[in-house]
Structure 1
C-alpha cells in the first residue's frame, strides 16, 4: 500500500511551481498513517511543523494507465486527511531541488478519519473541508478551485505506476497550512460535520 500526495492541485499551492502544468506528487510510506484520533507526537528534528486538511481517496481495484472516463469505477469511499509536514525543511528541499520525503514522510504524518461511502455525494467539487486549532475559528473551503480534476490526477499518476487496492490519494488542500505545536487540538470537518479530533503531543 502506498500514499500518494498531490502538491500543486490548488491555486495557493501552484504558486510555488507556477510554470508546472502537470500534477506534482510525492509518496509517503504506510508508517506515516495515523488513525482513530490518536495523538500525534512531534518528531525531535522539527521546529516548524504545519498541517493542512485534505480529501483522501481510497483505491479499491487494480489499475494501470487508467482512462479518465473510467476513473469513477476505481474508488467508492473517501475520508478526511490531515497532512503534517516540516514547512521549513520542505521549503529548503524545494529551493535546492531535493526530494521532499524527509520533510513530509515521517512517522504518523498522514492522519485520517474513518472512510465512508460516496453514496450521498454527487460531486467531489461540492465537498467543503474545514480545520480548526484549539477550538478557535474553523476555516473552510470547497474543492471547486481544484487545478486538476480528479479524473486527471488518477489517470496521470496511474501512467507512472500501478494503483493497487488500498492505495490512498491525498488530493491537496484548498486552505493554507496552519502551524502546530505541543498541546494543540486539531479538529477537521467535512461538509461542516466534525470527522477528526486529535491532540499534538
Structure 2
C-alpha cells in the first residue's frame, strides 16, 4: 500500500457531479456539490476482492477520478488549489444502491450504502507528470468485458479546482486525503463472480473480483 493510503484520514466523495448520471438515477442536477464520506477502512487495492455487504441485493459500480492531497490547507483559493494536489488515483465508489434508496426515502445518511468495507477500490498512485490535465481525462469501466461506463472529467459539473476550494472551507484537507470527484453515466449492478475492470485513458487499469461477504 502506498504511503498516501497509509496517511489517508478521510475520503471525501462528490455525488452527482456529472449531469447525465444525476438524470439516470432520477436526481436533480445539483447547484452545489453533494458531499459524503467513505472511511479509510473502505479502501482496497488490487489483489483484494470487493465484498457484497450483508443484506445488499443491488450493488452498483461507479468509476471515478480520485484526487490525492499532498499539502495541508484550509480555505484554499480556487486559483491556487492545484498546488495542494500531489497526484491522482483511479477509484471505484461501490454503492449498495438498495441501502441508499432506503436511506434517501427516510432522509437518513448514506453511510452504510457508501462506506462499507471494500467500497473504495483504488489503483496505484499517479503522479501529476502522468496526468498533465486532470480536468480532461477519459474514464471507463467494464464488467465481464462489457463496457458499462465511459466519460471524461471535462464533463464534471464542478471542476477539481472548485471542489478543492469548496471542500476546504469546511474541512481541513490533509496529506493523503482522497477526493472522489464523481462518476459518469452508465452505473449498474454487479453480482458475485463478476470481474470489474476500470481504466484512466491508457495510463492505468485495475481489476477487481466481486465476492460475497464471508
TM-score band, normalised by shorter chain:
over 0.9
TM-score by length of 2: 0.88
Change (3 A) 1:35 1:70: same
1:3 lines up with 2:11 in the alignment? yes
Question: 1:10, 1:19 → 2: CA distance?
Answer: 8
Aligned length, in residue pairs:
201
**SS of the counterpart of 2:132?**
coil
One of 32, 38, 48 as aligned partner of 1:38: 48
TM-score in terms of structure 1 length = 0.93
Equivalent in the alignment of 1:110: 120
SS at match of 2:52: coil
Residue by residue over 1:116-144, the C-alpha shift from the partner in whole angstroms, topping out at 9 and shown as x without a partner, is: 11214332232000000112236421112
Inter-partner Cα distance in structure 2 for 1:91 and 1:149: 27
**Whole-Å separation in 2 of the counterparts to 1:41 and 1:106:** 9
Q: Is the 8 A contact 1:34 1:110 kept in 2?
A: yes
* Partner of residue 12, structure 1: 20
Gapped runs of 5+ residues in structure 2? 1-8
After TM superposition, the runs of 4+ consecutive aligned structure 1 residues lying more than 3 A away are: 13-17
- Structure 1 residues not aligned, in runs of 5+: none
Question: Cα distance 1:120–1:41, how it changes in 2: closer, same or farther (>3 A)?
Answer: closer
Q: Is the 8 A contact 1:60 1:166 kept in 2?
A: yes
Taking only aligned residues, the RMSD between alpha carbons, in angstroms, comes to: 1.6
Question: SS at 1:71's partner residue?
Answer: helix
Alignment pair present for 1:150 and 2:160:
yes
